[in-house]
């Protein structure tokens, strides 16, 4: 599930959105906070996706020589 600022903002009660109404074309403080939360959530989602991709049992080609050294094997191929 992806969080974006618009979706989070729409989940707020209308009274909160009205109180946070933009002035001078700038987003209100609540909207700015939700944009920050959404941005950081995207960073976490990307990090979790990368961790999931890295959890496979087959190492990347650049890591194979390192694994071979750890195991004391020459010509280590997976």
Classify residue 47: in a domain, yes or no: yes
Whose CA is closest to 3, among 36, 52, 27, 28?
Answer: 36
In a domain, 10, yes or no: yes
Three-state helix/strand/coil letters over 8-25: HHHHCCHHHHHHCCCECC
Q: State the alpha helices, DSSP H only, in 1-78.
A: 5-11, 14-19, 29-54, 64-71
Query: Cα separation of 35 and 65, whole Å?
Result: 43
Q: Is the pTM of this model over 0.85?
A: no
Asked if the structure places residue 76 within a domain, the reply is no
Residue 11 lies in a domain: yes
For residue 62, is it within any domain? yes
Residue range(s) defining the domain that contains residue 51: 5-71
pLDDT tens string, the chain, 78 residues long: the values are 677 888 989 999 999 998 888 777 788 899 999 999 999 999 999 999 888 887 766 666 666 677 777 888 776 555
Number of domains in the chain: 1
CA distance 30 to 21: 9
């Amino acid at each position: 599930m992806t969080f974006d600022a618009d979706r989070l903002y729409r989940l707020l009660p209308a009274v909160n959105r009205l109180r946070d109404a933009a002035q001078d074309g700038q987003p209100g403080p609540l909207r700015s906070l939700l944009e920050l939360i959404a941005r950081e959530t995207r960073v976490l989602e990307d990090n979790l996706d990368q961790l999931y991709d890295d959890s496979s049992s087959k190492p990347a080609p650049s890591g194979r020589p390192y694994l071979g050294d750890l195991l004391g094997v020459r010509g280590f191929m997976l």
